[in-house]
Protein backbone atom coordinates (compact mmCIF):
# COMPACT_ATOMS: atom_id res chain seq x y z
CA UNK A 1 0.00 0.00 0.00
CA UNK A 2 1.46 3.37 -0.98
CA UNK A 3 1.23 6.00 1.70
CA UNK A 4 0.19 9.47 0.62
CA UNK A 5 1.12 12.56 2.54
CA UNK A 6 -1.28 15.48 2.66
CA UNK A 7 0.45 18.79 3.38
CA UNK A 8 -2.39 19.91 5.64
CA UNK A 9 -4.68 17.76 7.80
CA UNK A 10 -7.77 16.62 5.92
CA UNK A 11 -10.91 18.67 6.49
CA UNK A 12 -13.91 17.29 8.34
CA UNK A 13 -14.71 13.85 6.97
CA UNK A 14 -18.28 12.59 7.36
CA UNK A 15 -21.84 13.67 7.91
CA UNK A 16 -23.54 16.38 9.90
CA UNK A 17 -24.31 13.94 12.72
CA UNK A 18 -20.90 14.19 14.41
CA UNK A 19 -21.47 13.27 18.03
CA UNK A 20 -18.20 14.58 19.44
CA UNK A 21 -14.42 14.45 19.29
CA UNK A 22 -12.39 11.44 20.45
CA UNK A 23 -8.81 11.62 21.68
CA UNK A 24 -6.62 8.58 20.91
CA UNK A 25 -3.47 7.88 22.97
CA UNK A 26 -0.84 5.62 21.37
CA UNK A 27 1.82 3.38 22.96
CA UNK A 28 4.15 0.89 21.26
CA UNK A 29 5.70 -2.23 22.77
CA UNK A 30 8.68 -4.32 21.62
CA UNK A 31 9.06 -2.45 18.35
CA UNK A 32 11.50 -3.67 15.71
CA UNK A 33 15.02 -2.32 16.13
CA UNK A 34 16.06 -0.85 12.77
CA UNK A 35 19.14 1.10 13.95
CA UNK A 36 22.58 -0.51 13.99
CA UNK A 37 24.28 1.51 16.73
CA UNK A 38 21.21 2.44 18.81
CA UNK A 39 17.50 1.64 19.18
CA UNK A 40 14.79 2.77 16.77
CA UNK A 41 13.43 6.33 16.92
CA UNK A 42 9.72 5.60 16.33
CA UNK A 43 6.87 7.89 15.39
CA UNK A 44 3.25 6.95 14.63
CA UNK A 45 1.21 8.13 11.64
CA UNK A 46 -2.59 8.03 11.59
CA UNK A 47 -4.43 7.44 8.30
CA UNK A 48 -8.17 7.42 7.61
CA UNK A 49 -9.78 5.74 4.62
CA UNK A 50 -11.50 8.36 2.48
CA UNK A 51 -13.16 7.19 -0.77
CA UNK A 52 -11.07 4.00 -0.80
CA UNK A 53 -7.72 5.75 -0.24
CA UNK A 54 -5.62 6.13 2.91
CA UNK A 55 -5.25 9.82 3.78
CA UNK A 56 -2.83 10.97 6.47
CA UNK A 57 -4.57 12.83 9.29
CA UNK A 58 -1.75 13.39 11.75
CA UNK A 59 1.49 12.06 13.23
CA UNK A 60 3.04 11.91 16.67
CA UNK A 61 6.38 13.24 17.82
CA UNK A 62 9.47 11.00 17.49
CA UNK A 63 10.47 9.00 20.58
CA UNK A 64 14.27 8.92 20.47
CA UNK A 65 16.06 5.60 21.07
CA UNK A 66 12.93 3.84 22.40
CA UNK A 67 11.35 0.48 21.47
CA UNK A 68 8.48 0.96 23.98
CA UNK A 69 7.29 4.51 23.30
CA UNK A 70 4.33 6.26 24.95
CA UNK A 71 3.62 9.18 22.63
CA UNK A 72 2.68 12.51 24.22
CA UNK A 73 0.98 13.81 21.06
CA UNK A 74 -2.65 12.67 20.91
CA UNK A 75 -4.76 12.06 17.80
CA UNK A 76 -8.11 13.90 17.81
CA UNK A 77 -10.86 12.65 15.49
CA UNK A 78 -14.50 13.57 14.89
CA UNK A 79 -16.56 10.51 15.87
CA UNK A 80 -19.55 9.50 13.71
CA UNK A 81 -21.49 6.53 15.05
CA UNK A 82 -23.42 6.00 11.82
CA UNK A 83 -20.29 5.62 9.67
CA UNK A 84 -17.61 2.95 9.38
CA UNK A 85 -14.49 5.03 10.07
CA UNK A 86 -11.50 2.93 8.98
CA UNK A 87 -8.20 3.91 10.58
CA UNK A 88 -4.61 2.78 10.07
CA UNK A 89 -1.81 3.33 12.59
CA UNK A 90 1.62 2.98 10.98
CA UNK A 91 4.91 3.19 12.91
CA UNK A 92 8.19 4.30 11.36
CA UNK A 93 11.76 4.64 12.56
CA UNK A 94 12.86 8.21 11.85
CA UNK A 95 16.10 8.21 9.88
CA UNK A 96 16.12 11.65 8.30
CA UNK A 97 14.38 14.97 8.76
CA UNK A 98 12.25 14.32 5.66
CA UNK A 99 8.44 14.38 5.86
CA UNK A 100 8.26 11.72 3.11
CA UNK A 101 7.41 8.40 4.74
CA UNK A 102 9.39 6.30 2.24
CA UNK A 103 12.55 7.93 3.64
CA UNK A 104 11.96 6.19 7.01
CA UNK A 105 12.11 2.51 8.01
CA UNK A 106 8.70 0.84 8.40
CA UNK A 107 8.10 -0.75 11.85
CA UNK A 108 4.61 -2.19 11.31
CA UNK A 109 0.98 -1.13 11.14
CA UNK A 110 -2.47 -1.93 12.50
CA UNK A 111 -5.88 -1.22 10.92
CA UNK A 112 -9.30 -1.16 12.57
CA UNK A 113 -12.43 0.98 12.81
CA UNK A 114 -12.90 3.82 15.28
CA UNK A 115 -16.00 1.97 16.47
CA UNK A 116 -13.84 -1.01 17.51
CA UNK A 117 -11.60 1.26 19.60
CA UNK A 118 -14.35 3.17 21.41
CA UNK A 119 -16.40 0.04 22.12
CA UNK A 120 -13.37 -1.49 23.89
CA UNK A 121 -12.05 1.84 25.27
CA UNK A 122 -8.52 0.40 25.04
CA UNK A 123 -7.08 -2.21 22.65
CA UNK A 124 -3.66 -3.84 22.28
CA UNK A 125 -2.93 -5.54 18.95
CA UNK A 126 -0.05 -7.06 16.99
CA UNK A 127 1.70 -4.83 14.46
CA UNK A 128 1.86 -6.28 10.95
CA UNK A 129 4.34 -5.83 8.12
CA UNK A 130 3.28 -5.14 4.53
CA UNK A 131 3.13 -8.89 3.79
CA UNK A 132 0.61 -9.44 6.60
CA UNK A 133 3.14 -11.16 8.89
CA UNK A 134 3.80 -9.96 12.47
CA UNK A 135 6.41 -7.19 12.86
CA UNK A 136 8.52 -9.25 15.27
CA UNK A 137 6.99 -8.99 18.74
CA UNK A 138 5.81 -5.43 18.07
CA UNK A 139 2.47 -4.39 19.58
CA UNK A 140 0.41 -1.20 19.61
CA UNK A 141 -1.96 -0.02 22.36
CA UNK A 142 -4.66 2.54 21.52
CA UNK A 143 -6.81 4.15 24.23
CA UNK A 144 -9.86 6.33 23.53
CA UNK A 145 -11.28 9.19 25.52
CA UNK A 146 -14.14 11.54 24.72
CA UNK A 147 -13.01 15.15 24.40
CA UNK A 148 -15.85 17.09 25.89
CA UNK A 149 -16.80 18.61 29.20
CA UNK A 150 -20.25 17.13 29.70
CA UNK A 151 -20.91 18.80 33.05
CA UNK A 152 -24.05 20.91 33.45
CA UNK A 153 -24.96 23.26 36.28
CA UNK A 154 -28.49 23.56 37.68
CA UNK A 155 -29.28 26.69 39.68
CA UNK A 156 -32.31 27.53 41.77
CA UNK A 157 -32.36 31.29 42.50
CA UNK A 158 -34.66 33.75 44.30
CA UNK A 159 -34.58 37.43 45.36
CA UNK A 160 -35.50 39.31 48.54
CA UNK A 161 -36.28 43.00 49.10
CA UNK A 162 -35.17 44.10 45.64
CA UNK A 163 -35.34 47.84 44.89
CA UNK A 164 -38.76 49.11 43.77
CA UNK A 165 -38.42 50.57 40.27
CA UNK A 166 -42.02 51.09 39.11
CA UNK A 167 -43.95 54.21 40.16
CA UNK A 168 -47.32 52.55 40.57
CA UNK A 169 -46.30 49.07 41.61
CA UNK A 170 -43.43 46.81 42.44
CA UNK A 171 -40.61 45.70 40.14
CA UNK A 172 -40.74 43.01 37.43
CA UNK A 173 -37.29 41.48 38.06
CA UNK A 174 -35.17 39.17 35.92
CA UNK A 175 -31.51 38.10 36.08
CA UNK A 176 -28.74 37.94 33.50
CA UNK A 177 -25.63 35.77 33.93
CA UNK A 178 -22.36 36.80 32.20
CA UNK A 179 -18.88 35.36 31.77
CA UNK A 180 -15.73 37.22 30.61
CA UNK A 181 -15.26 36.96 26.83
CA UNK A 182 -11.95 36.66 24.99
CA UNK A 183 -12.12 40.38 24.18
CA UNK A 184 -12.32 41.29 27.90
CA UNK A 185 -16.01 42.25 27.66
CA UNK A 186 -18.79 40.48 29.56
CA UNK A 187 -20.65 37.93 27.45
CA UNK A 188 -24.29 37.03 28.17
CA UNK A 189 -24.78 33.34 28.98
CA UNK A 190 -28.29 33.06 30.40
CA UNK A 191 -31.35 35.23 31.05
CA UNK A 192 -34.06 34.12 33.48
CA UNK A 193 -37.75 34.65 32.93
CA UNK A 194 -39.42 37.86 34.22
CA UNK A 195 -41.37 37.59 37.49
CA UNK A 196 -44.11 40.26 37.51
CA UNK A 197 -45.06 42.63 40.35
CA UNK A 198 -42.76 41.46 43.15
CA UNK A 199 -39.69 42.45 45.11
CA UNK A 200 -39.25 38.85 46.33
CA UNK A 201 -39.10 36.81 43.10
CA UNK A 202 -38.56 33.06 42.86
CA UNK A 203 -37.21 32.11 39.44
CA UNK A 204 -37.63 28.67 37.88
CA UNK A 205 -34.57 26.40 38.26
CA UNK A 206 -32.48 26.38 35.08
CA UNK A 207 -29.69 24.22 33.66
CA UNK A 208 -26.81 25.36 31.43
CA UNK A 209 -23.61 23.62 30.31
CA UNK A 210 -20.74 24.42 32.69
CA UNK A 211 -18.61 25.28 29.63
CA UNK A 212 -21.16 27.95 28.67
CA UNK A 213 -21.30 29.54 32.13
CA UNK A 214 -17.60 29.59 33.06
CA UNK A 215 -15.64 27.75 30.32
CA UNK A 216 -15.53 24.76 32.69
CA UNK A 217 -13.41 26.72 35.20
CA UNK A 218 -15.34 26.86 38.51
CA UNK A 219 -12.96 29.52 39.91
CA UNK A 220 -13.52 31.95 37.01
CA UNK A 221 -15.42 35.14 37.94
CA UNK A 222 -18.94 35.45 36.59
CA UNK A 223 -21.27 38.45 36.82
CA UNK A 224 -24.97 38.37 37.74
CA UNK A 225 -27.08 41.46 36.94
CA UNK A 226 -30.65 42.13 38.07
CA UNK A 227 -33.03 44.31 36.02
CA UNK A 228 -36.61 45.52 36.26
CA UNK A 229 -38.35 44.58 33.01
CA UNK A 230 -39.91 47.29 30.82
CA UNK A 231 -41.95 46.39 27.75
CA UNK A 232 -40.23 49.12 25.69
CA UNK A 233 -36.86 47.39 26.19
CA UNK A 234 -35.47 50.12 28.45
CA UNK A 235 -35.03 47.82 31.44
CA UNK A 236 -34.09 49.52 34.72
CA UNK A 237 -30.88 48.42 36.40
CA UNK A 238 -31.44 47.14 39.97
CA UNK A 239 -27.99 45.85 40.89
CA UNK A 240 -25.24 43.32 40.25
CA UNK A 241 -22.53 41.22 41.86
CA UNK A 242 -19.59 39.06 40.82
CA UNK A 243 -19.00 35.55 42.08
CA UNK A 244 -17.74 32.15 40.89
CA UNK A 245 -19.34 28.76 40.34
CA UNK A 246 -17.19 27.40 43.22
CA UNK A 247 -18.83 29.99 45.50
CA UNK A 248 -22.33 29.26 44.15
CA UNK A 249 -21.77 25.56 44.90
CA UNK A 250 -21.61 26.40 48.60
CA UNK A 251 -25.40 26.71 48.44
CA UNK A 252 -27.18 23.67 49.81
CA UNK A 253 -30.91 22.95 50.09
CA UNK A 254 -30.71 23.38 53.88
CA UNK A 255 -28.42 26.45 53.85
CA UNK A 256 -28.93 28.78 50.87
CA UNK A 257 -26.23 31.23 49.79
CA UNK A 258 -27.11 34.96 50.06
CA UNK A 259 -25.37 37.50 47.82
CA UNK A 260 -25.86 41.28 47.98
CA UNK A 261 -27.10 42.95 44.81
CA UNK A 262 -25.19 46.25 44.50
CA UNK A 263 -25.99 49.37 42.45
CA UNK A 264 -22.59 51.17 42.20
CA UNK A 265 -24.17 54.60 41.46
CA UNK A 266 -26.41 54.42 44.53
CA UNK A 267 -23.49 53.14 46.58
CA UNK A 268 -21.45 56.24 45.67
CA UNK A 269 -24.32 58.70 46.33
CA UNK A 270 -25.76 57.35 49.60
CA UNK A 271 -23.60 57.02 52.70
CA UNK A 272 -25.94 54.60 54.46
CA UNK A 273 -26.50 52.47 51.31
CA UNK A 274 -26.47 48.77 52.11
CA UNK A 275 -27.63 47.02 48.95
CA UNK A 276 -30.42 46.92 46.36
CA UNK A 277 -31.68 43.59 47.61
CA UNK A 278 -30.44 40.07 48.18
CA UNK A 279 -30.11 37.31 45.56
CA UNK A 280 -30.56 33.92 47.19
CA UNK A 281 -28.97 30.85 45.60
CA UNK A 282 -31.25 28.12 46.98
CA UNK A 283 -29.34 25.26 45.38
CA UNK A 284 -26.50 24.73 42.92
CA UNK A 285 -25.74 21.28 41.54
CA UNK A 286 -23.15 20.19 38.96
CA UNK A 287 -23.97 16.93 37.20
CA UNK A 288 -22.86 15.19 34.01
CA UNK A 289 -24.99 15.31 30.87
CA UNK A 290 -23.86 11.96 29.48
CA UNK A 291 -23.47 11.43 25.74
CA UNK A 292 -23.88 8.29 23.63
CA UNK A 293 -20.11 7.88 23.57
CA UNK A 294 -19.97 8.09 27.38
CA UNK A 295 -22.26 5.04 27.53
CA UNK A 296 -20.25 3.14 24.89
CA UNK A 297 -16.91 3.94 26.57
CA UNK A 298 -18.56 2.93 29.85
CA UNK A 299 -19.05 -0.58 28.47
CA UNK A 300 -22.60 -0.55 27.07
CA UNK A 301 -23.06 -3.27 24.43
CA UNK A 302 -25.41 -2.90 21.46
CA UNK A 303 -27.30 -6.19 21.02
CA UNK A 304 -28.28 -6.61 17.36
CA UNK A 305 -31.10 -8.86 16.06
CA UNK A 306 -32.33 -9.17 12.47
CA UNK A 307 -35.92 -10.02 11.49
CA UNK A 308 -36.46 -11.03 7.84
CA UNK A 309 -39.78 -11.09 5.95
CA UNK A 310 -40.33 -14.41 4.09
CA UNK A 311 -43.93 -13.81 3.03
CA UNK A 312 -45.20 -14.87 -0.42
CA UNK A 313 -45.50 -11.28 -1.69
CA UNK A 314 -41.67 -11.27 -1.99
CA UNK A 315 -41.93 -13.68 -4.95
CA UNK A 316 -40.19 -16.98 -5.67
CA UNK A 317 -36.51 -16.55 -4.66
CA UNK A 318 -35.38 -18.55 -7.72
CA UNK A 319 -36.84 -15.96 -10.09
CA UNK A 320 -35.04 -12.65 -10.82
CA UNK A 321 -38.26 -10.69 -10.12
CA UNK A 322 -38.22 -11.84 -6.46
CA UNK A 323 -36.95 -9.49 -3.77
CA UNK A 324 -35.16 -12.51 -2.26
CA UNK A 325 -33.45 -13.43 -5.55
CA UNK A 326 -29.68 -13.30 -5.04
CA UNK A 327 -28.22 -11.69 -8.16
CA UNK A 328 -24.94 -12.72 -9.85
CA UNK A 329 -23.11 -10.19 -7.63
CA UNK A 330 -24.29 -12.20 -4.61
CA UNK A 331 -26.66 -9.60 -3.21
CA UNK A 332 -30.24 -8.28 -3.06
CA UNK A 333 -32.03 -5.53 -1.15
CA UNK A 334 -32.39 -7.70 1.98
CA UNK A 335 -28.66 -8.44 2.04
CA UNK A 336 -27.77 -4.82 1.30
CA UNK A 337 -29.82 -3.67 4.31
CA UNK A 338 -28.25 -6.33 6.58
CA UNK A 339 -24.74 -5.28 5.52
CA UNK A 340 -25.39 -1.54 5.78
CA UNK A 341 -26.69 -1.66 9.37
CA UNK A 342 -24.81 -4.72 10.63
CA UNK A 343 -21.31 -3.65 9.66
CA UNK A 344 -21.65 -0.57 11.89
CA UNK A 345 -23.39 -2.16 14.89
CA UNK A 346 -21.15 -5.25 15.01
CA UNK A 347 -18.28 -3.09 16.33
CA UNK A 348 -20.29 -2.42 19.49
CA UNK A 349 -20.97 -6.06 20.47
CA UNK A 350 -17.98 -7.87 21.98
CA UNK A 351 -18.92 -11.45 20.98
CA UNK A 352 -20.43 -10.46 17.60
CA UNK A 353 -23.05 -13.25 17.87
CA UNK A 354 -26.34 -12.02 16.43
CA UNK A 355 -29.76 -13.75 16.46
CA UNK A 356 -31.29 -13.82 12.96
CA UNK A 357 -35.03 -14.54 12.82
CA UNK A 358 -37.52 -15.01 10.01
CA UNK A 359 -41.29 -14.57 9.80
CA UNK A 360 -44.15 -15.37 7.41
CA UNK A 361 -42.85 -18.74 6.07
CA UNK A 362 -43.88 -22.39 6.27
CA UNK A 363 -41.15 -24.52 7.82
CA UNK A 364 -40.22 -28.16 7.30
CA UNK A 365 -41.04 -30.87 8.17
CA UNK A 366 -44.74 -30.17 8.93
CA UNK A 367 -44.90 -26.89 6.91
CA UNK A 368 -46.58 -24.87 9.66
CA UNK A 369 -46.43 -21.08 9.35
CA UNK A 370 -44.01 -19.40 11.75
CA UNK A 371 -43.69 -15.71 12.58
CA UNK A 372 -40.59 -16.12 14.75
CA UNK A 373 -38.08 -18.76 13.61
CA UNK A 374 -34.29 -19.02 13.65
CA UNK A 375 -33.06 -18.82 10.06
CA UNK A 376 -30.27 -21.30 10.99
CA UNK A 377 -33.09 -23.71 12.07
CA UNK A 378 -31.59 -23.93 15.57
CA UNK A 379 -34.20 -22.39 17.91
CA UNK A 380 -32.02 -22.98 20.97
CA UNK A 381 -29.09 -21.18 19.40
CA UNK A 382 -30.31 -18.72 16.72
CA UNK A 383 -26.99 -16.82 16.83
CA UNK A 384 -24.91 -16.15 13.74
CA UNK A 385 -21.25 -15.19 13.90
CA UNK A 386 -20.94 -11.60 12.70
CA UNK A 387 -22.74 -10.09 9.71
CA UNK A 388 -21.11 -12.74 7.48
CA UNK A 389 -22.81 -15.43 9.58
CA UNK A 390 -26.23 -13.80 9.10
CA UNK A 391 -25.67 -13.60 5.33
CA UNK A 392 -24.61 -17.28 5.15
CA UNK A 393 -27.60 -18.47 7.25
CA UNK A 394 -29.97 -16.36 5.10
CA UNK A 395 -28.65 -17.78 1.82
CA UNK A 396 -28.70 -21.34 3.19
CA UNK A 397 -32.29 -21.19 4.48
CA UNK A 398 -33.92 -19.85 1.27
CA UNK A 399 -34.23 -23.23 -0.55
CA UNK A 400 -35.66 -24.98 2.55
CA UNK A 401 -38.68 -22.78 3.40
CA UNK A 402 -41.95 -21.92 1.66
CA UNK A 403 -42.86 -18.25 1.47
CA UNK A 404 -46.34 -17.73 2.90
CA UNK A 405 -47.96 -15.10 5.16
CA UNK A 406 -49.40 -13.02 6.74
CA UNK A 407 -46.90 -10.21 7.56
CA UNK A 408 -46.92 -10.20 11.36
CA UNK A 409 -44.35 -8.00 13.13
CA UNK A 410 -45.46 -8.30 16.76
CA UNK A 411 -44.03 -11.80 17.50
CA UNK A 412 -40.47 -10.73 16.60
CA UNK A 413 -40.79 -7.38 18.41
CA UNK A 414 -42.05 -9.19 21.53
CA UNK A 415 -39.25 -11.77 21.18
CA UNK A 416 -36.52 -9.08 21.41
CA UNK A 417 -38.50 -7.15 24.05
CA UNK A 418 -38.35 -10.20 26.37
CA UNK A 419 -34.53 -10.06 26.32
CA UNK A 420 -34.53 -6.27 26.73
CA UNK A 421 -36.84 -6.65 29.76
CA UNK A 422 -34.41 -9.17 31.30
CA UNK A 423 -31.56 -6.66 30.81
CA UNK A 424 -33.43 -4.02 32.85
CA UNK A 425 -33.13 -6.27 35.94
CA UNK A 426 -29.39 -5.49 36.03
CA UNK A 427 -30.26 -1.80 36.63
CA UNK A 428 -27.08 -0.73 34.80
CA UNK A 429 -26.46 0.86 31.40
CA UNK A 430 -24.89 -2.35 30.10
CA UNK A 431 -27.08 -3.48 27.18
CA UNK A 432 -29.25 -1.83 24.54
CA UNK A 433 -31.15 -3.90 21.95
CA UNK A 434 -31.56 -3.05 18.28
CA UNK A 435 -34.02 -4.95 16.08
CA UNK A 436 -33.64 -4.54 12.32
CA UNK A 437 -36.80 -5.67 10.49
CA UNK A 438 -36.58 -5.92 6.70
CA UNK A 439 -39.94 -6.27 4.98
CA UNK A 440 -41.60 -5.89 1.60
CA UNK A 441 -45.07 -4.85 2.52
CA UNK A 442 -48.06 -3.95 4.58
CA UNK A 443 -48.27 -5.13 8.22
CA UNK A 444 -51.13 -7.58 8.83
CA UNK A 445 -51.17 -7.31 12.65
CA UNK A 446 -51.07 -3.51 12.92
CA UNK A 447 -52.92 -3.30 16.27
CA UNK A 448 -50.68 -5.91 17.90
CA UNK A 449 -47.58 -4.28 16.39
CA UNK A 450 -48.55 -0.83 17.68
CA UNK A 451 -49.13 -2.32 21.13
CA UNK A 452 -45.77 -4.16 21.01
CA UNK A 453 -43.92 -0.95 20.01
CA UNK A 454 -45.59 1.07 22.80
CA UNK A 455 -44.56 -1.57 25.37
CA UNK A 456 -41.04 -1.78 23.92
CA UNK A 457 -40.65 2.02 24.22
CA UNK A 458 -40.28 1.47 27.99
CA UNK A 459 -37.31 -0.87 27.42
CA UNK A 460 -33.66 -0.46 26.28
CA UNK A 461 -34.64 -1.14 22.70
CA UNK A 462 -34.93 0.50 19.26
CA UNK A 463 -36.51 -0.82 16.06
CA UNK A 464 -35.21 -0.09 12.57
CA UNK A 465 -37.54 -1.00 9.69
CA UNK A 466 -36.21 -1.09 6.13
CA UNK A 467 -38.90 -1.42 3.47
CA UNK A 468 -37.72 -3.23 0.32
CA UNK A 469 -39.51 -3.30 -3.02
CA UNK A 470 -42.06 -0.77 -4.26
CA UNK A 471 -45.03 -1.35 -1.95
CA UNK A 472 -47.03 1.37 -0.16
CA UNK A 473 -45.25 1.92 3.15
CA UNK A 474 -47.66 4.47 4.67
CA UNK A 475 -48.27 2.20 7.70
CA UNK A 476 -44.52 2.09 8.42
CA UNK A 477 -44.33 5.88 8.41
CA UNK A 478 -47.15 5.78 10.97
CA UNK A 479 -45.03 3.59 13.31
CA UNK A 480 -42.08 5.98 13.00
CA UNK A 481 -43.21 8.58 15.53
CA UNK A 482 -41.17 11.49 14.17
CA UNK A 483 -44.26 13.59 13.46
CA UNK A 484 -46.68 12.37 16.16
CA UNK A 485 -46.72 10.17 19.25
CA UNK A 486 -47.62 6.52 18.59
CA UNK A 487 -50.60 5.12 20.52
CA UNK A 488 -51.48 1.52 21.32
CA UNK A 489 -55.00 0.26 20.51
CA UNK A 490 -55.64 0.62 24.29
CA UNK A 491 -54.90 4.36 24.02
CA UNK A 492 -51.54 4.11 25.80
CA UNK A 493 -48.85 6.46 24.46
CA UNK A 494 -45.30 5.43 23.55
CA UNK A 495 -42.90 6.76 26.19
CA UNK A 496 -40.43 7.70 23.42
CA UNK A 497 -39.99 7.30 19.67
CA UNK A 498 -38.05 4.05 19.09
CA UNK A 499 -38.92 3.26 15.46
CA UNK A 500 -36.92 4.49 12.48
CA UNK A 501 -38.34 3.59 9.05
CA UNK A 502 -36.65 4.05 5.66
CA UNK A 503 -37.72 2.77 2.23
CA UNK A 504 -34.76 1.07 0.50
CA UNK A 505 -35.86 2.43 -2.89
CA UNK A 506 -34.67 5.91 -1.83
CA UNK A 507 -31.12 4.51 -1.54
CA UNK A 508 -30.79 2.31 -4.63
CA UNK A 509 -28.56 4.66 -6.59
CA UNK A 510 -26.45 6.19 -3.82
CA UNK A 511 -23.34 4.91 -1.98
CA UNK A 512 -24.22 2.09 0.43
CA UNK A 513 -22.97 4.17 3.39
CA UNK A 514 -25.89 6.58 2.86
CA UNK A 515 -28.44 3.98 3.97
CA UNK A 516 -26.55 3.33 7.22
CA UNK A 517 -26.43 7.06 7.99
CA UNK A 518 -30.18 7.40 7.42
CA UNK A 519 -31.25 4.45 9.56
CA UNK A 520 -28.75 4.92 12.38
CA UNK A 521 -28.78 8.73 12.72
CA UNK A 522 -31.39 8.70 15.52
CA UNK A 523 -30.00 5.72 17.43
CA UNK A 524 -27.40 7.47 19.65
CA UNK A 525 -30.07 9.91 20.82
CA UNK A 526 -32.49 7.03 21.55
CA UNK A 527 -29.88 5.18 23.64
CA UNK A 528 -29.09 8.31 25.71
CA UNK A 529 -32.76 9.19 26.09
CA UNK A 530 -33.59 5.75 27.52
CA UNK A 531 -30.76 5.59 30.06
CA UNK A 532 -31.33 9.20 31.18
CA UNK A 533 -35.03 8.50 31.64
CA UNK A 534 -34.05 5.57 33.89
CA UNK A 535 -31.45 7.72 35.74
CA UNK A 536 -28.72 5.27 34.75
CA UNK A 537 -25.22 6.74 34.33
CA UNK A 538 -22.57 4.97 32.23
CA UNK A 539 -21.14 1.98 34.12
CA UNK A 540 -17.66 3.44 34.65
CA UNK A 541 -18.58 7.12 34.89
CA UNK A 542 -16.69 9.58 37.06
CA UNK A 543 -18.55 11.90 39.44
CA UNK A 544 -19.05 15.48 38.21
pLDDT tens by residue, 417-474: 999 999 999 999 999 999 999 999 888 999 999 999 999 999 999 999 999 998 888 8
- What percent of the chain lies above the pLDDT cut of 90? 78
pLDDT above 60 for 307:
yes
Ordered domains of the chain (ranges, CATH):
20-147 (2.60.40.150), 151-288 (2.60.40.150), 298-534 (3.40.50.410)
Please state, in angstroms and rounded to a whole number, the distance separating the CA atoms of residues 382 and 379.
Answer: 5
Q: Is 23 helix (H, G, I), strand (E, B) or coil?
A: strand
- How far apart, in Å, are the Cα atoms of 276 and each of 161, 165, 193, 422? 8, 11, 20, 58
- Residues 18-76: tens digit of each pLDDT: 458 899 999 999 999 987 778 899 999 999 999 899 999 999 999 989 999 999 989 99
pLDDT higher than threshold 80 for residue 340: yes
Residue by residue, DSSP assigns 346-408 as GGG-SS-EEEEEEESEEETTTTEEESSEETTS-TT--EEEHHHHHHHHHHHHGGGSEEB----
pLDDT at 112: 97
- Total residue count of the chain as it appears in this document: 544
pLDDT (0 to 100) of residue 184: 85
pLDDT, tens digit, 9 for 90 and up, residues 260-301: 999 999 999 988 999 999 999 999 999 988 999 999 999 999
Does an H or E element contain 421, and which? helix 410-424
Report which of 111, 154, 167 is spatially closest to residue 245, judged by C-alpha positions. Answer: 154
Q: Which residues pair with 524 in a beta bridge?
A: none
Amino acid sequence: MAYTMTPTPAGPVGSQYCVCKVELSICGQNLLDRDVTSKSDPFCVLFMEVNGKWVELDRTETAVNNLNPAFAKKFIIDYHFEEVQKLKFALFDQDKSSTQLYEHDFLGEFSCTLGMIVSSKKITRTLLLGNGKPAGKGMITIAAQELSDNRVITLSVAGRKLDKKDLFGKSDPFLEFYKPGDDGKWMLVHRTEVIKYTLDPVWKPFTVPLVSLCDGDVEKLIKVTCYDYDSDGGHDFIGEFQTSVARLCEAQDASPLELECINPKKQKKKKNYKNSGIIIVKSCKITRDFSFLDYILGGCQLMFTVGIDFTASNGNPQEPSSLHYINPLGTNEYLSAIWAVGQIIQDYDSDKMFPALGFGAQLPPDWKVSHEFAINFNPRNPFCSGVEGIVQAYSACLPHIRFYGPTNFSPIINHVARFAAQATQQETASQYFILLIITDGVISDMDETRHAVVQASKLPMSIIIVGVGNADFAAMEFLDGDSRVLHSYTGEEAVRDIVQFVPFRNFRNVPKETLAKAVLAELPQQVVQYFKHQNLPPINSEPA
